[in-house]
Chains A and B, each alone.
Chain A
């Protein structure tokens, strides 16, 4: 029960790695990540599809075996004591993994019994959960008859039957309509307010920003930066990112032509292929300069974007790439 190996943290990883062996050779999915999630924290793993988030959650929930490093959940090593870890976690999988052969209520009752509750206790627990999650009138329906939003709520309810220390949610709102998504956010906020430790993965910037106290930005199997939303913005310079694309390739001295070199506030200018991108803390007028300079060089502007400091600009600053959803 002591958490000496996990330092009393709800989740801790140390150089955690996973390389999949495939017929096309080794594919590294997670390349050495270090996470520290305190008890009661709402933690977000943010990154585009394929960043390694699901593999990370898979390792923390014992169903994916790490190929390197270590991880502890509730102080227990996920490889050495998977059963102990499974007792302490609730998992909302990305797929609909409800038991298709069972009704809505039975999904909760049998999950409760898997965790050692007696038959009566299990049905009482199921009834309570269905009430709170607004599924009481669907209790006798087969789980396959639920809508996407209802199925997700049932998955969350099922993950909570045994009062887990840590609740894992893998892309909980992917594929849901906006209203259902906001409804789920409210549920998660209430759980968090009651002290539930939550680790969530998402590829939605606004989801991480709206919910998570701590965020780790992942890409290509690595954590690029972590901290609160404000810390991340601060750390990445809190800059506005202006991108202008032209119809033709830009000349190499475009930055100088637009008078951007040495302009106050500008920290970085990229001119590559058909675009120029400027990272600046004083964005006023920069867009106009780029359009004017483009015209002078005989270039037609195709499109232009100006992103205010957000997780999206943080991602751009960290990776030099646009966030691919």
Chain B
């Protein structure tokens, strides 16, 4: 069948037009020569992350603020006001440390919890999207760098978001509390604090990468049930690890949870009045965990991208 009238254009809004030959020639002839280097491409990818973060600033900020804000409001303001007699975690304090309010216990735990949440939100969720719908991961996989560099870039970008998320906890816990319930936070070793925070950020982002590459997108809700909830509830967020000595089997079992080391590490540098795990064990676990998750994550990432 022949027809003389063309079918109605779908692009009626912006009619498709043929580019002019001279313009196409110029496009090819006058293109600046590409000179990619590993550092330039990596930097451009990071710049892309920050552009997206800036665009979604309100959503990102809300996501980062709501959790610690509500926690602190309930535990450091609401409970002391209504309960009076809440002595949560008080028994864990070293003898002679005096009464430790719950806000003090909560600060390092809340930061650790934020690290995990932000690390996973920043890496796992976008990654699962990029691998499933339309496989948009192919866009950056075609950038002139080895695939593993792309994986490392995702870890670094996620770690930065986790780091910022953890820092947001500070102003909240310092300002939101009932009278006399201010947390006793005192950093004596800033270098150690920074090291633990950075190592913990990298650990959660590496874990986020690993989860993002092995998760079945149809079973995303499992992430909360199987990973996030148990990791947080049993991650020494609301109680110091030493307090678990009453339940010895649990105290040993939770050692497989990376959250424990993040909470305890931050506890050691932020609220040293509380009992905490030895720092060498914390650092070993954080750095070792980053290495293991990072290695596995970049490997599964490369396996998913390259078929």
| Residues of chain A at the chain B interface (Cβ within 8 Å) | 20, 58, 61-65, 82-83, 86-87, 89, 91, 93, 95-102, 106, 110-111, 113-117, 121, 125, 128-129, 131-135, 137-138, 147-150, 153, 160-163, 176-180, 183, 186-187, 190-191, 193-196
Is there an interface contact between A83 and B14, defined as CB atoms closer than 8 Å? no
Residues of A within 8 A of B17 (CB): 134, 183
Is there an interface contact between A83 and B144, defined as CB atoms closer than 8 Å? yes
Residues of A within 8 A of B85 (CB): none
Is there an interface contact between A149 and B19, defined as CB atoms closer than 8 Å? no
Of the residues B9, B45, B52, B146, contact of A114 by C-beta under 8 Å: B45
> Would you call B168 an interface residue if the criterion is a C-beta within 8 Å of the partner chain's C-beta atoms?
no
> Would you call B281 an interface residue if the criterion is a C-beta within 8 Å of the partner chain's C-beta atoms?
no
Of the residues A64, A177, A191, contact of B24 by C-beta under 8 Å: A191
Residues of A within 8 A of B44 (CB): 110, 113-114
Is there an interface contact between B10 and A114, defined as CB atoms closer than 8 Å? no
Q: Which of B26-54 contact A (CB under 8 A)?
A: 26-37, 40-41, 43-45, 47-48, 51-52
Residues of B within 8 A of A87 (CB): 34, 36, 144
Is there an interface contact between B28 and A179, defined as CB atoms closer than 8 Å? no
Residues of B within 8 A of A153 (CB): 16
Which one, B116-124, B132-140, B173-181, B256-264, is touching chain A? B132-140
A87-B34, A87-B36, A110-B47 in contact; A63/B25 too (CB < 8 A)?
no
| Residues of chain B at the chain A interface (Cβ within 8 Å) | 6-7, 9-11, 13-14, 16-21, 23-37, 40-41, 43-45, 47-48, 51-52, 55-56, 134-136, 138-146, 305-307
Is there an interface contact between A177 and B27, defined as CB atoms closer than 8 Å? no
Is there an interface contact between A187 and B18, defined as CB atoms closer than 8 Å? yes
A116-B35, A132-B23, A132-B27 in contact; A177/B18 too (CB < 8 A)?
no
Is there an interface contact between A191 and B28, defined as CB atoms closer than 8 Å? yes
Is there an interface contact between B21 and A63, defined as CB atoms closer than 8 Å? no
A86-B142, A93-B138, A187-B19 in contact; A63/B307 too (CB < 8 A)?
yes
> Measured between C-beta atoms, what is the minimum distance from B57 to chain A in Å?
13
A131-B23, A163-B33 in contact; A115/B305 too (CB < 8 A)?
no
Residues of A within 8 A of B26 (CB): 128
> Measured between C-beta atoms, what is the minimum distance from A161 to chain B in Å?
8
A86-B144, A117-B32, A193-B21 in contact; A128/B27 too (CB < 8 A)?
yes
Residues of A within 8 A of B24 (CB): 132, 187, 190-191, 193-194
Is there an interface contact between A63 and B138, defined as CB atoms closer than 8 Å? yes
Of the residues B14, B146, B306, contact of A137 by C-beta under 8 Å: B14
Is there an interface contact between A114 and B27, defined as CB atoms closer than 8 Å? no
Residues of B within 8 A of A138 (CB): 14
Alpha-carbon separation in the docked complex, A59 to B155 (Å):
27
Is there an interface contact between A114 and B140, defined as CB atoms closer than 8 Å? yes
Can you name 26 A-B residue pairings with CB atoms under 8 Å?
A: A62-B306, A63-B138, A64-B306, A64-B307, A65-B307, A87-B144, A93-B138, A95-B134, A95-B136, A97-B135, A99-B136, A100-B136, A101-B52, A106-B51, A116-B34, A132-B19, A134-B17, A147-B13, A150-B14, A162-B36, A163-B28, A180-B10, A180-B11, A180-B16, A186-B19, A190-B21
Is there an interface contact between A58 and B18, defined as CB atoms closer than 8 Å? no
Is there an interface contact between B142 and A61, defined as CB atoms closer than 8 Å? yes
Residues of A within 8 A of B32 (CB): 117, 121, 125
> Measured between C-beta atoms, what is the minimum distance from A302 to chain B in Å?
21
Alpha-carbon separation in the docked complex, A97 to B129 (Å):
12
Alpha-carbon separation in the docked complex, A113 to B41 (Å):
7
Residues of A within 8 A of B23 (CB): 131-132
Residues of A within 8 A of B27 (CB): 128-129, 132, 160
> Measured between C-beta atoms, what is the minimum distance from A12 to chain B in Å?
21
Nearest B residue to A183, CB-CB: B16
* Residue among B18, B140, B306 with most chain A CB within 10 A: B18
A61-B142, A114-B45, A177-B7 in contact; A196/B28 too (CB < 8 A)?
yes
Alpha-carbon separation in the docked complex, A102 to B56 (Å):
11
Is there an interface contact between B142 and A96, defined as CB atoms closer than 8 Å? no
A64-B307, A102-B48 in contact; A114/B18 too (CB < 8 A)?
no
Nearest B residue to A114, CB-CB: B143
Alpha-carbon separation in the docked complex, A102 to B25 (Å):
28
Of the residues A63, A111, A193, contact of B305 by C-beta under 8 Å: A63
Is there an interface contact between A180 and B36, defined as CB atoms closer than 8 Å? no
Residues of B within 8 A of A100 (CB): 136
> Measured between C-beta atoms, what is the minimum distance from A56 to chain B in Å?
13
Alpha-carbon separation in the docked complex, A117 to B307 (Å):
29
Is there an interface contact between A114 and B28, defined as CB atoms closer than 8 Å? no
